[in-house]
Amino acid sequence: MSTAPPPPPLTALVIDDEPQIRRLLTVALEANGYLIETAAAGQDGLVRAAQQRHDIILLDLGLPDLGGLEVLQRLREWTQTPVVILTVQDAEADKIAALDCGADDYVTKPFKTGELLARMRAALRRAHRGDAPEPVIQLGKGVVMNLSTRRVTRDGQPVKLTATEYALLRFFVQHAGKVLTHRQLLREVWGPEHEMESQYLRVYLARLREKLEPGDTTDSLFQTEPGVGYRLVEN
């Protein structure tokens, strides 16, 4: 009886100018089954990304030639390969700029390998499903969203959502596990002319939390990324 061949290993491109970080990531990721390619500068990273398709890219912002954001913008001109920013720059403005430019996630140095691997797995899951969730989604404990019927239930009971609340929840579901900036959420749900009106977002997210989350918040659906945005916690 023949058995199916094992799937090919995942490939990762590390673009970082620090030799120690490149060595650390190579050892850690190879131990977890990845094939690793590295680049010490932005231009070299772009060339390697163009020459070979990778499953995921880890990108530093502080590169010696091109800025990391420029590398990200140029990558997004032709590929939707997941990109996780890995950098010492932890200012809110840096995180927001990277996420708005198309980064899938943002991890600051020093980092824990386990957390980085979890973020990478989440980014790969989103890429493999093409950001197109199944029609019926289980959110946390007891909350079910049916995208085909536009129906949401909590512990089997219908939850009444306004059109805006539903649109906000649907956008979160479409990007579950990914940090969404205030600007992204406002632009998608309320339109480009409301990108700076963050009070809309605070009010409607509070309503979703009240309707969908347990009172003790031990199983919060929505994780706040201070100063940056929010993330829908994946099951």
DSSP 130-161: TT---SEEEETTTEEEETTTTEEEETTEE---
The pLDDT tens digits of the residues spanning 184-228 come to 999 889 988 888 888 889 999 999 999 998 765 566 889 998 889
State the CB neighbour count (10 A cutoff) for residue 56: 22
The amino acid at residue 20 is Q
Percent of the chain with pLDDT over 90: 56
**What's the pLDDT score for residue 132?**
53
210, 178, 153, 141 alpha-carbon torsion, rounded to 10°: -80
**Phi/psi zone of residue 102: left (φ > 0), alpha (ψ -120 to 50 degrees), beta?**
left
| CB < 8 Å & 24+ apart, contacts of 103-111 | 103/59, 103/72, 104/178, 105/178, 105/179, 106/179, 109/21, 111/86
Nearest CA among 131, 135, 77 for reference residue 102: 77
The pLDDT tens digits of the residues spanning 86-124 come to 988 888 888 899 998 889 999 998 889 999 999 999 899
Structural domains of the chain, ranges and CATH numbers in brackets: 11-128 (3.40.50.2300), 136-232 (1.10.10.10)
SS3 204: helix
Nearest CA among 120, 105, 133, 132 for reference residue 56: 120
